[in-house]
Structure 1
Amino acid sequence: MSSLTITINGVVQVLQVGSLSGAAQAQLASMQTTINTIAQSALLQWAYTSAFQLVSATRDANEAIVTASIVWPDGATGTFTTDVASSAFPGAIDAWHATHVLARVTKTATQPAITRDANGAVTAQPAITIA
Protein backbone atom coordinates (compact mmCIF):
# COMPACT_ATOMS: atom_id res chain seq x y z
CA MET A 1 0.00 0.00 0.00
CA SER A 2 1.40 3.40 -0.92
CA SER A 3 1.40 6.39 1.38
CA LEU A 4 1.40 10.17 1.19
CA THR A 5 3.26 12.26 3.73
CA ILE A 6 1.79 15.65 4.63
CA THR A 7 3.01 18.21 7.13
CA ILE A 8 0.74 20.56 9.05
CA ASN A 9 2.43 23.11 11.33
CA GLY A 10 5.57 21.02 11.27
CA VAL A 11 3.78 17.80 12.30
CA VAL A 12 4.33 15.01 9.81
CA GLN A 13 1.34 12.79 9.03
CA VAL A 14 1.67 9.69 6.87
CA LEU A 15 -1.57 8.72 5.17
CA GLN A 16 -2.09 5.29 3.68
CA VAL A 17 -3.44 6.14 0.24
CA GLY A 18 -3.05 2.93 -1.70
CA SER A 19 -6.81 2.60 -2.02
CA LEU A 20 -7.29 6.19 -3.17
CA SER A 21 -7.62 7.03 -6.82
CA GLY A 22 -4.88 8.94 -8.61
CA ALA A 23 -7.13 12.00 -8.61
CA ALA A 24 -7.63 11.79 -4.85
CA GLN A 25 -3.89 11.38 -4.30
CA ALA A 26 -3.26 14.42 -6.51
CA GLN A 27 -5.82 16.40 -4.51
CA LEU A 28 -4.09 15.49 -1.24
CA ALA A 29 -0.74 16.53 -2.70
CA SER A 30 -2.29 19.83 -3.78
CA MET A 31 -3.62 20.33 -0.25
CA GLN A 32 -0.08 19.83 1.10
CA THR A 33 1.20 22.52 -1.25
CA THR A 34 -1.54 24.87 -0.07
CA ILE A 35 -0.75 24.17 3.59
CA ASN A 36 2.96 24.85 2.97
CA THR A 37 2.13 28.11 1.19
CA ILE A 38 -0.10 29.29 4.05
CA ALA A 39 2.54 28.40 6.65
CA GLN A 40 5.23 30.21 4.64
CA SER A 41 2.98 33.29 4.31
CA ALA A 42 2.27 33.34 8.05
CA LEU A 43 5.96 33.11 8.90
CA LEU A 44 6.77 35.89 6.44
CA GLN A 45 4.07 38.14 7.93
CA TRP A 46 5.35 37.47 11.45
CA ALA A 47 8.91 38.24 10.36
CA TYR A 48 7.90 41.59 8.79
CA THR A 49 6.08 42.61 11.96
CA SER A 50 8.60 41.08 14.41
CA ALA A 51 5.71 39.09 15.83
CA PHE A 52 7.73 36.97 18.19
CA GLN A 53 8.20 36.98 21.94
CA LEU A 54 11.64 37.88 23.18
CA VAL A 55 12.45 35.29 25.86
CA SER A 56 16.02 36.30 26.62
CA ALA A 57 18.56 38.45 24.83
CA THR A 58 22.20 39.39 24.79
CA ARG A 59 22.79 43.03 23.85
CA ASP A 60 25.82 45.00 22.75
CA ALA A 61 27.17 48.20 24.36
CA ASN A 62 24.58 50.22 22.38
CA GLU A 63 21.71 48.01 23.62
CA ALA A 64 21.15 46.43 20.19
CA ILE A 65 20.27 42.73 20.36
CA VAL A 66 23.19 40.51 19.40
CA THR A 67 21.30 37.23 19.84
CA ALA A 68 18.03 36.26 21.49
CA SER A 69 15.82 33.28 22.23
CA ILE A 70 12.37 33.83 20.74
CA VAL A 71 8.93 32.21 20.58
CA TRP A 72 6.76 32.67 17.48
CA PRO A 73 2.94 33.08 17.56
CA ASP A 74 2.44 29.38 16.70
CA GLY A 75 4.56 28.31 19.69
CA ALA A 76 7.68 27.54 17.64
CA THR A 77 10.97 28.43 19.27
CA GLY A 78 13.93 30.04 17.60
CA THR A 79 16.94 32.27 17.75
CA PHE A 80 17.11 35.89 16.57
CA THR A 81 20.59 36.99 15.47
CA THR A 82 21.77 40.44 14.39
CA ASP A 83 23.82 40.20 11.21
CA VAL A 84 24.53 43.93 10.84
CA ALA A 85 24.23 46.43 13.67
CA SER A 86 23.99 50.02 12.47
CA SER A 87 27.25 51.91 12.89
CA ALA A 88 25.62 55.25 12.04
CA PHE A 89 22.72 54.74 14.47
CA PRO A 90 23.97 52.81 17.50
CA GLY A 91 21.33 50.50 18.93
CA ALA A 92 19.60 50.01 15.57
CA ILE A 93 19.72 46.73 13.64
CA ASP A 94 20.18 46.85 9.86
CA ALA A 95 20.18 43.13 9.02
CA TRP A 96 19.12 40.02 10.93
CA HIS A 97 17.94 36.44 10.71
CA ALA A 98 15.68 34.36 12.95
CA THR A 99 15.03 30.65 13.06
CA HIS A 100 11.58 29.08 13.45
CA VAL A 101 11.81 25.55 14.87
CA LEU A 102 8.66 23.46 15.12
CA ALA A 103 8.52 19.66 15.31
CA ARG A 104 12.17 19.35 14.23
CA VAL A 105 11.53 21.45 11.10
CA THR A 106 13.66 24.61 10.94
CA LYS A 107 12.92 27.59 8.73
CA THR A 108 15.03 30.75 8.69
CA ALA A 109 13.68 34.25 8.07
CA THR A 110 16.40 36.62 6.83
CA GLN A 111 16.21 40.41 6.58
CA PRO A 112 19.04 41.62 4.32
CA ALA A 113 20.62 44.96 5.18
CA ILE A 114 18.25 47.91 5.03
CA THR A 115 19.16 51.45 3.94
CA ARG A 116 18.67 54.46 6.22
CA ASP A 117 18.56 58.20 5.55
CA ALA A 118 20.59 60.82 7.44
CA ASN A 119 18.04 60.77 10.27
CA GLY A 120 18.07 56.97 10.62
CA ALA A 121 14.69 56.35 8.99
CA VAL A 122 14.46 53.30 6.77
CA THR A 123 14.46 54.33 3.10
CA ALA A 124 14.78 50.88 1.52
CA GLN A 125 13.98 47.47 2.95
CA PRO A 126 14.93 44.44 0.85
CA ALA A 127 12.42 41.58 0.93
CA ILE A 128 12.66 39.17 3.84
CA THR A 129 13.34 35.64 2.64
CA ILE A 130 12.33 32.33 4.18
CA ALA A 131 14.57 29.31 3.66
Structure 2
Amino acid sequence: MSDAAPGSLLYCQGNWSFKLTPDVDGNEQMIFLTGDHAGSVSKVPGRNGLTPAAPYELAIYVDSIDGSKVPQKLPAVSFGPKGAIIHGHQWDHHRSPVAVQMDGSHSESDGQEYNFLPSFSLWLVDADKSRVGNNPIVSIGQATP
Protein backbone atom coordinates (compact mmCIF):
# COMPACT_ATOMS: atom_id res chain seq x y z
CA MET A 1 0.00 0.00 0.00
CA SER A 2 1.16 3.52 -0.71
CA ASP A 3 0.92 6.41 1.73
CA ALA A 4 0.34 8.79 -1.18
CA ALA A 5 -3.12 10.27 -1.65
CA PRO A 6 -5.12 9.75 -4.86
CA GLY A 7 -4.06 12.35 -7.42
CA SER A 8 -0.38 12.03 -6.40
CA LEU A 9 2.47 11.37 -8.78
CA LEU A 10 4.39 8.17 -8.10
CA TYR A 11 7.92 7.45 -9.29
CA CYS A 12 8.80 3.77 -9.22
CA GLN A 13 11.50 1.81 -11.07
CA GLY A 14 12.25 4.69 -13.41
CA ASN A 15 8.64 5.37 -14.43
CA TRP A 16 6.09 8.05 -13.52
CA SER A 17 2.51 7.12 -12.68
CA PHE A 18 -0.56 8.86 -11.27
CA LYS A 19 -2.36 7.39 -8.24
CA LEU A 20 -6.09 6.71 -8.58
CA THR A 21 -8.82 6.28 -6.00
CA PRO A 22 -9.25 2.66 -4.88
CA ASP A 23 -11.39 0.47 -7.13
CA VAL A 24 -14.68 -1.09 -5.98
CA ASP A 25 -12.76 -3.91 -4.27
CA GLY A 26 -10.60 -1.42 -2.37
CA ASN A 27 -7.46 -2.11 -4.41
CA GLU A 28 -5.13 0.85 -4.85
CA GLN A 29 -4.42 1.63 -8.50
CA MET A 30 -2.19 3.84 -10.62
CA ILE A 31 -2.04 4.74 -14.30
CA PHE A 32 1.43 4.61 -15.85
CA LEU A 33 2.40 7.84 -17.59
CA THR A 34 5.82 6.74 -18.87
CA GLY A 35 7.69 3.53 -19.66
CA ASP A 36 6.84 0.30 -21.44
CA HIS A 37 3.38 0.15 -19.85
CA ALA A 38 2.40 3.82 -20.40
CA GLY A 39 -1.37 4.17 -20.39
CA SER A 40 -1.93 0.97 -18.38
CA VAL A 41 -3.68 0.83 -15.03
CA SER A 42 -2.03 -1.37 -12.40
CA LYS A 43 -1.99 -1.97 -8.66
CA VAL A 44 0.09 0.43 -6.58
CA PRO A 45 3.31 -0.96 -5.11
CA GLY A 46 4.38 0.11 -1.63
CA ARG A 47 5.83 3.47 -2.64
CA ASN A 48 5.33 7.03 -1.53
CA GLY A 49 4.35 9.69 -4.01
CA LEU A 50 4.80 13.34 -4.76
CA THR A 51 1.90 15.33 -3.34
CA PRO A 52 2.17 19.12 -3.55
CA ALA A 53 1.67 21.00 -0.28
CA ALA A 54 -0.79 23.91 -0.15
CA PRO A 55 -1.01 26.31 -1.89
CA TYR A 56 0.61 24.30 -4.72
CA GLU A 57 -1.08 21.71 -6.91
CA LEU A 58 -0.53 19.77 -10.13
CA ALA A 59 -1.80 21.02 -13.48
CA ILE A 60 -1.71 19.65 -17.01
CA TYR A 61 -0.41 21.79 -19.86
CA VAL A 62 -0.48 20.95 -23.56
CA ASP A 63 1.56 22.33 -26.44
CA SER A 64 -1.28 22.04 -28.92
CA ILE A 65 -5.03 21.50 -28.76
CA ASP A 66 -4.89 19.58 -32.04
CA GLY A 67 -5.90 16.06 -31.17
CA SER A 68 -7.86 13.13 -32.46
CA LYS A 69 -11.33 11.73 -31.79
CA VAL A 70 -9.69 8.29 -31.66
CA PRO A 71 -6.72 7.87 -29.28
CA GLN A 72 -3.56 7.26 -31.30
CA LYS A 73 -1.43 6.74 -28.20
CA LEU A 74 -2.15 6.34 -24.49
CA PRO A 75 -1.90 7.91 -22.06
CA ALA A 76 -3.59 10.96 -23.53
CA VAL A 77 -5.52 13.86 -22.02
CA SER A 78 -8.74 15.63 -22.86
CA PHE A 79 -10.44 18.70 -21.43
CA GLY A 80 -14.13 19.08 -20.74
CA PRO A 81 -16.67 20.17 -18.15
CA LYS A 82 -14.88 18.10 -15.48
CA GLY A 83 -11.50 19.65 -16.28
CA ALA A 84 -8.49 17.64 -17.40
CA ILE A 85 -9.01 13.90 -17.85
CA ILE A 86 -6.18 11.37 -18.29
CA HIS A 87 -7.09 8.44 -20.57
CA GLY A 88 -5.53 4.99 -20.45
CA HIS A 89 -6.59 1.34 -20.43
CA GLN A 90 -6.78 -1.67 -18.14
CA TRP A 91 -3.54 -3.64 -17.73
CA ASP A 92 -3.10 -5.93 -20.78
CA HIS A 93 -6.59 -4.97 -22.03
CA HIS A 94 -6.00 -2.19 -24.54
CA ARG A 95 -9.68 -2.18 -25.54
CA SER A 96 -10.84 -1.54 -21.94
CA PRO A 97 -10.58 2.24 -21.55
CA VAL A 98 -9.99 4.04 -18.27
CA ALA A 99 -10.48 7.78 -17.71
CA VAL A 100 -9.37 9.56 -14.52
CA GLN A 101 -9.59 13.09 -13.20
CA MET A 102 -6.77 15.08 -11.60
CA ASP A 103 -7.96 14.14 -8.10
CA GLY A 104 -7.38 10.48 -8.99
CA SER A 105 -11.07 9.58 -9.26
CA HIS A 106 -12.38 7.53 -12.13
CA SER A 107 -14.34 9.58 -14.65
CA GLU A 108 -17.52 8.04 -15.93
CA SER A 109 -18.29 8.52 -19.60
CA ASP A 110 -20.67 11.44 -19.96
CA GLY A 111 -21.41 10.67 -23.59
CA GLN A 112 -19.22 13.47 -24.90
CA GLU A 113 -16.79 12.87 -27.72
CA TYR A 114 -13.23 13.45 -26.51
CA ASN A 115 -10.42 15.24 -28.30
CA PHE A 116 -7.48 13.02 -27.26
CA LEU A 117 -4.21 14.95 -26.86
CA PRO A 118 -1.20 12.58 -26.67
CA SER A 119 1.40 15.22 -25.72
CA PHE A 120 1.13 16.91 -22.33
CA SER A 121 3.15 17.81 -19.28
CA LEU A 122 2.46 17.92 -15.54
CA TRP A 123 3.55 21.08 -13.77
CA LEU A 124 3.55 22.33 -10.21
CA VAL A 125 1.38 25.48 -10.06
CA ASP A 126 0.79 28.06 -7.33
CA ALA A 127 -2.49 29.48 -6.00
CA ASP A 128 -2.71 31.82 -9.03
CA LYS A 129 -2.34 28.79 -11.35
CA SER A 130 1.07 30.06 -12.52
CA ARG A 131 3.74 27.48 -13.31
CA VAL A 132 6.40 27.03 -10.65
CA GLY A 133 9.92 26.62 -12.02
CA ASN A 134 11.26 26.38 -15.55
CA ASN A 135 10.53 22.71 -16.25
CA PRO A 136 7.60 20.35 -15.84
CA ILE A 137 7.73 17.51 -13.35
CA VAL A 138 7.17 15.08 -16.21
CA SER A 139 6.50 15.40 -19.97
CA ILE A 140 4.46 12.84 -21.90
CA GLY A 141 4.72 12.47 -25.66
CA GLN A 142 6.34 15.47 -27.31
CA ALA A 143 5.26 18.07 -24.72
CA THR A 144 7.89 20.69 -23.95
CA PRO A 145 8.10 23.50 -21.38
TM-score range (shorter-chain normalised) is under 0.3
| Higher relative helix content | 1
Where relative contact order (Cα < 8 A, 6+ residues apart) is larger, the structure is 2
| Higher relative strand content | 1
Normalization by structure 2: what TM-score?
A: 0.25
